[in-house]
Amino acid sequence: MQSIQKLFPGKRIITALVLAFTLAYCATTEPKPKIEIPSSKTSIQIQPIFHGSLVLTIGDKTIYVDPSWGGEKYKDLKKPDLILITDIHPDHLDLKTLGEIATKETQIIAPEAVAKEAKEYTNITRLKNGQSTSVGDINFSAIPMYNITKEHLDKHTKGRGNGYLIKFGGKTIYISGDTEDIKEMRALKNIDIAFLCMNQPYTMTVEKAADAVKDFKPKVVYPYHYRGKDGLSDTEKFKALVKESSPSTEVELINWY
C-alpha cells in the first residue's frame, strides 16, 4: 500500500484502522455476473470485480476501471488494453495491483494527481475535468467528482479526480468515481448505464444518490462503491427511493462484496 501520508497529506491515520478497513474490503467473494449491453456496433460486457472496480469489454478492447485489491482478482480475465483510474486513494490507485496486471502495451487514462503518483508509467493520458480522448471508436470524457458537504471537503477535492463517461456504439456509460451529488452529475443527459457510489462519509448518502438519479435519469443504475466505515449502505432502500421518484430508471443490485 502507498504511503498514507502521500494519500492523505496533512492527516494522521491510525495504521490499525486502515489495515482493518483494507482487510474488510478484500474478503473472498463469488464471481459477479457479467452485464451485457447491446449496442449498434457490438455488445458491451461489464464484469463487476469488487467495491469500485470493474472490467469492460468493448469491441476488441478490455478496459479495467480502478484495478485494486491484488492481481489475483483479475487472473481469469484478459490483460487490459486500457486502464481508467479515478483518484489517488488506494481503492482506486493501487500501484501493486497495477504492476501485476498492466503490460507494456497497456494505456492508462487518469487525472494528473494519479500520474504524479504512478511516475514509472509513461503511457498515461492525463485528463482534466471536462477533457476527452478517444481510443479507436471509444470516447472517454473526464467528469468532475468531489465532495460538497462542508465537513467532508478534504476527502475529494474538486479537480483532483475524474468520473468518466464512456461512449461507444450509441451507448453512454457513466462511472461516478468518489463523489457527492454534484451539479455536474445532476446535469448529465442520455446516460444508458450509471455506476453510482454511495458510502458516507466518503461519498453520497443513499438519499442523496437517489435524489441525483431523479435529476439525470439514467436508464439503468447500478449502486457500487457502497461500503464505508459503518458497513454496507442500504441499496434496497436506494432502489425503493428511485422507484418512487424516478420510475423510468431501472435499479440493478449486485453484491460487490
pLDDT tens sequence across 169-210: 999 999 999 999 999 999 999 999 999 999 988 999 999 999
**Exposed, middle or buried, 114 (CB in 10 Å: 0-12/13-18/19+)?**
buried
pLDDT tens sequence across 213-252: 999 999 999 999 999 888 999 999 999 999 999 999 999 9
User: pTM value?
Assistant: 0.88
| Separation CA 158–CA 174 (nearest Å) | 18
Radius of gyration of the chain, Cα coordinates, nearest whole angstrom: 17
Least confident of 9-18, 32-41, 57-66, 100-109: 9-18
**For position 22, what pLDDT does the model report?**
47
Pick from 114, 107, 105, 182: nearest CA to 143: 182
| Separation CA 225–CA 198 (nearest Å) | 6
Q: Which fold has domain 31-251?
A: Metallo-beta-lactamase; Chain A (3.60.15)
pLDDT of residue 56 exceeding 50: yes
C-alpha distances (whole Å) from 87 to each of 1, 32, 37, 52 are 15, 24, 26, 11
| Separation CA 20–CA 39 (nearest Å) | 41
Q: Is 112 within 8 Å of 93 (Cβ atoms)?
A: no
